[in-house]
Structures are given as structure tokens and as C-alpha cells.
Structure 1
């Protein structure tokens, strides 16, 4: 067994061990929902990996009392719910997480006052608290959802592998640009429509088909022959557009889990989509740079590296597809 094959098998074992459901957000999640003038419901979800489950805990002002139920295990996270009783409104008060150490996973904070706009904030080590505003800042919403969009595609392994496979299939500058533009346009359409409730698809079939789309690209790469362009190479924007429609439903499923601020739905939707695009461009740039470096410094290794990566991508995506149809 040569070194390349050993590397492929090792990477496959590593990635297959990750439970990578399409569009599942990896950060922690804390939600405060007001039920009466003095009472709030708290939901705290902490991933087992990343340190939040063992070290972090909800941070509330002194005039609030928290009664937390017994935590339970839900998939790869610990989930706890509880009641918060406050002697005065939360406006102007600080909420967040205590115990977020360097290296901890980030968390999304969502505050939903009774009859008033929802506020969201990204919590991270060094900025783990948030001052509740009487009226949410539009730029705070934009910043939060843009970062979520970037992290969603970069940390969402299925979308990441799809974009990488698209670059490996086309490899030429303008073809990649055309396909990426078509993919962007398509998933923007379904992301907006599904998020706004205009249409939708069940999430489970969407997740399975997203994995299958990656398998399809891997097969196309393997079957590609110089001077004999396949349909996916001749009209890549058509392929990218069709699969982009599907991936847009996946993005919408993630955005529904987060929720949208009631008064800034267009801003949140726009900046989430822009974040997704920024992450997508980053993935394309890195993949293209690696291919260019191989072509310049080790041209004989370029083809074997592409094929090894393709088989790895196809194997992992096949594993995800089987996992999702049986889930």
C-alpha cells in the first residue's frame, strides 16, 4: 500500500467519523424567549466538542434568577432548558456566556422580547456577552448573519466538498467563475423563497440529495478525459445552477434553525447570503491556488493529487448519503 493510498484512507476515516448532516450549525446556541413581563424561557445547546458543554454556562444579570432543568444529551450536543425570572426588563442589561475560554467553540445568542424585535449576537472568547438593546442595531444584525453565513459554508463539510469538487472538475478560470455565478444565483433564489415561506422541501431528502450531488461531481471528475469534454464540462453553469437550487434549500434549513430578526428580515437574509458567497469564494481561491502551486512546482503530482482527492471526496459523500437515507 503506497503512501498516497494510506493518506486517503486515513483522511476518509477521519471525515467519516464526523457526523456531518447538511447545514447543521456547529456553534453553541443560547436563546432567551420572554413569556410574561417577568419570566423568560432559556434554551442552552452546547456541542460536546469545543469546550462549551464542560466550561461555559449562561450569564444573566443579578436581578434575574435561573432555574435550570436537568441537561440531556441530544446528538452531538448537551441541551438544557430553564426558567428565568427577572425583577425588571432586560433592556440595557448584559447577557451571554460565562466560562468561554480561548479555543472554545463560538455560540449564537438569540434574545426574543415579548412583542418586540428579536436580537442576535455572535459570542466568542473575548466577546462572550451582549448588552440587550431597546431596538436592535441593524448593523449588528448584518454583522452577525454575515459571519454565520461565512462559517456555515466553510464549516459545513458537504457544501465545502461540493465547491472543491466543482473546481477540480473544471480547473479553468472562466468556467469556474461561470459555474460559481450560476450556483450563487440558484441557491439565492431557493434560500430566499424557502426562508420567506414561499416554497420548500422536506429537509431529510434535501440532505441526502446534497450528498448525492457531491458523488455525481466526483464521478464526473474520474470519467473526464482530455479532448473529450463531458456535458458537465461543456455547460457547467447548467449543472451548477440545478445543484445550486438544491443547496439553497439546505441553506434555508440552517437559517430556519437560527431564526430571523422580525424587523430586519431582508438585512439578515441578504447578509447571510453574502456571507455564504464570501465563504464560497474563499474555498474556490484556496483550491485554485493549491492546483496552481502543484502545476508550477510538481506538475507530475498534479493529476495523482486530483484523483486521490476525488476518490476521497466521493467516498465520504457516499458515506453521508447512506447515513442520511437510513437516518
Structure 2
């Protein structure tokens, strides 16, 4: 993994060495953030044409402290360590910035961050920094989950379809429970990396599940017996598997 990080560093270093005006032409800077140990960091700027960071602490969260720089990198430490609630602010009037972060656990993450013309903000949740605390992470997941369930159009359409199709409180409750259980199964599998969330194919399947439910509603209005009428909890369980993977993708974006 360490050799991969060095290879990525060299890959982005070559264009800068080959063209002395690369930053002026493309307007994009390149930086590398290396968490050498928990709470201890080095920051390398590949493009020498960007203004130097004379005071490294100005771009860091307030709790971070600059250290004497190394030969090719700025050094600093943070207590507690950098987390997803933090951001770095670079005072550069460029189009944007490409950042590669290598965290203490060995994970390498890269991202592009556009500039405002005055400053370039690099939110560390975009580089999958750690959670500020277990409570903070749980709160973020809780808020995201509530938003996903209450305002996600796929869930609203699914519940609306069930309300139009099913009669009886207990049948509706059993069907929604089956959906929730399946949703939790695939969500857990994706988060624990037992099965990776397929991404775009899952989004297609979620859309198709809503279309199928709409077809069931139309058939029911015409007096025809539908699959949801016959096996409501099975249909809901299958749909829940798809939707759980979709939610896992949203959590993955959070980090």
C-alpha cells in the first residue's frame, strides 16, 4: 500500500516537473496529506508555483499546531486527530485542488475540490477522515437514516403503493417489517464489506421496483389479483434488499 501511495505521488509529480507553468495553465494544485501516526501529519505541495504556506496553522483547524517543516513537506499535529467534521482552507486563487490523503490505517483516498477564486476548501469527509467520535458518527448516521426514510422518494413511493394495494393493519405491518428486515440485511452486508454495494445497477433495480409496484397498483384498480396481494411480504423483502444497498451507498459517501 505504501508503494502505491508513492507511485500516485510520482504520477502527479511528473506533469509539474515537465511543465513549469502547469498550475498557471490548468489552475489546479496538487497536495498530499500523510497521517504518519495518529494525530501527526505531513503535507506536501507538488506544484512549486503556488504561493507558499508561510503559516501552516492558518489553513488548519484551531486545535492543530504547526511543527518545524521537513525537507519537502509541512508538518503539524492535531489533538484530537483530524476527522470528518474538519476542513483545510488553502488561500489560493486557483480553479481547484487535487488532494491525496494517506491515513494511518493505510487507506489512500483522493479527491478534487473546486476553488472559489479566493480560497479552496477541502472538507475532510470528502477524503474519508475518521469520525470525530463514536457519538458523532452515530448521530450523523441517524440523521442520514431518518432523512433517507422520511424524505427519500423511493421509500415514499413504496409506502404509498402498499397503502393503495393492501388492506388490514396487520398485513401492512408485516409487509413493511419484511421490507425493513431485508433493508437492514443488505445495509449491514455492504457496510461490513461482506458484499459491496453495486452502485448504478442497484439504482436501476430500485427504479424498476417502483415501476413494478406502480403496475401492481394499476392492475389492482382494474380488479385483477396481483403478486403483492398474493405474496406481499415476499415482494417487500425482495424490494428491501435493493433499497438497503442504495442506503449503503449513501452511507459510503459520508465515510
Normalised to the residue count of structure 1, the TM-score between the two structures is 0.42
Q: Equivalent residue for 1:61?
A: 62
**In 1, distance between residues paired with 2:62 and 2:161?**
48
- Match status 1:114 vs 2:115: no
**In 2, distance between residues paired with 1:140 and 1:62?**
18
Q: Equivalent residue for 1:144?
A: 140
User: Which one has the largest radius of gyration?
Assistant: 2
Q: Secondary structure at the match of 1:202?
A: coil
**In 1, distance between residues paired with 2:43 and 2:200?**
32
- Match status 1:238 vs 2:234: yes
After TM superposition, give the deviation of residue 167 of structure 1 in Å: 2.3
- Match status 1:254 vs 2:247: no
Q: Equivalent residue for 2:35?
A: 35
Tell me, yes or no, if the aligned pair for 2:165 and 2:217 is still in contact at 8 Å. Answer: yes
After TM superposition, give the deviation of residue 139 of structure 1 in Å: 2.9
Normalised to the residue count of structure 2, the TM-score between the two structures is 0.52
Root-mean-square deviation (Å): 3.9
**In 1, distance between residues paired with 2:188 and 2:226?**
32
After TM superposition, give the deviation of residue 166 of structure 1 in Å: 2.3
Tell me, yes or no, if the aligned pair for 2:216 and 2:227 is still in contact at 8 Å. Answer: no
Q: Equivalent residue for 2:15?
A: none
Tell me, yes or no, if the aligned pair for 2:63 and 2:79 is still in contact at 8 Å. Answer: no
- Match status 1:172 vs 2:168: yes
- Match status 1:223 vs 2:219: yes
- By relative contact order (CA 8 Å, sep 6+), the higher-ranking structure is 1
Residue range with higher mean Cα deviation, 198-207 or 240-249? 198-207
Gaps of 5+ in 2: 1-32, 45-58, 67-72, 88-101, 107-129
Q: Equivalent residue for 2:6?
A: none
- Match status 1:91 vs 2:80: yes
Gaps of 5+ in 1: 1-32, 42-57, 66-83, 98-111, 117-133, 260-327
**In 2, distance between residues paired with 1:195 and 1:149?**
14
**In 2, distance between residues paired with 1:59 and 1:245?**
42
Q: Equivalent residue for 2:203?
A: 207
